[in-house]
Amino acid sequence: MEQKIKNVLFICFGNTARSPAAEGIAKALKRDKYPNELSNITFDSAGFFNIYKTAQEETIDYVKKSWNFDLSDHKGKIMDEGLLKKQDLILAMEKRHLKRLKRKLKNLQNVHQKAQLLLEYAEISGNPNIEDPVNLDKKKYDKIMEQIEKGVLKSIEKIIKINRK
C-alpha cells in the first residue's frame, strides 16, 4: 500500500517561474475544486538557487489570470534538508533537477521514491522535461505554463486516489 501524501513540494532551478506556478495552481485547485479531498495536504515550492527572491511577473500574471490565485507575495526559497525531509512527494520540472536533488541528498531516506518528475508522475507521455520559461516570449511562456497546469492537475488526481486507499 502506498503511503498517504500530505506534503508536496514542487522544485525547479530558481523558484521564480515553474515551481511557484505549480504551487499556485495546486493551491487554487485545493481552494476551488478539491477543498475536501486536499484539506490535509500542503503545497510548497523551492529551488536550488534564488537570485530574484520573488516569482517572475509573467508567472504571477498567468496564475492570476488563469486561476485567480495571487502569487505576488511569493518569496522564493532555497531547498534544504529540513524542508525536503518533511515532504511525502517532491515533483521536479527537469531530469537535471531530479539528478541534482538525488545526488545532493543521497542520504535522505526515501529520496529516490519520493522525488519524481512532475510530468512522469502525472503519467503524461512525451518529453518529461518542462523548459525554463524565463526570458522566452509570451506565447512560449504560456505554453510552458499550460504544461505545468496539465502536470499539476493529473498529479493532484493521482494524489487524491492514493489518499483514498
**Residue found by looking up cell 505549480 in the block:** 22
The per-residue pLDDT for 40 is 95
Enter the pTM of the model.
Answer: 0.93
Give the separation between CA 91 and CA 116, rounded to whole angstroms.
5
The per-residue pLDDT for 1 is 42
> Average of pLDDT values for 97-113?
79
Q: In this predicted model, which residue has the larger pLDDT, 93 or 49?
A: 93
pLDDT of 118 over the 70 cut:
yes
Give the separation between CA 64 and CA 72, rounded to whole angstroms.
9
Give the separation between CA 40 and CA 80, rounded to whole angstroms.
23
Q: How confident is the model at residue 51 (pLDDT cuts 50, 70, 90)?
A: confident
CATH homologous superfamily of 7-164: Response regulator (3.40.50.2300)
Cβ-based neighbour number of residue 149 at 10 Å: 18
Highest mean pLDDT among 4-13, 76-85, 110-119: 4-13
Q: Which long-range contacts (CB under 8 A, 24 or more apart) does 34-42 make?
A: 34/156, 34/160, 37/160, 37/163, 38/156, 38/159, 38/160, 40/6, 41/5, 41/6, 41/7, 41/8, 41/159, 41/163, 42/6, 42/7, 42/8
> Average of pLDDT values for 130-142?
94
> Average of pLDDT values for 32-52?
93
Give the separation between CA 136 and CA 58, rounded to whole angstroms.
10
The per-residue pLDDT for 2 is 65
> Average of pLDDT values for 29-58?
92
For 92, phi then psi, to 5°, come to -100, 155
Query: Over the chain, what is the mean pLDDT?
Result: 92
Pull the grid cell for residue 147.
504544461
Stated as kind and residue range, the H or E segment containing 75 is none
Q: How far is CA 33 from the centre of its chain?
A: 18
Q: In this predicted model, which residue has the larger pLDDT, 52 or 34?
A: 34
pLDDT of 30 over the 50 cut:
yes
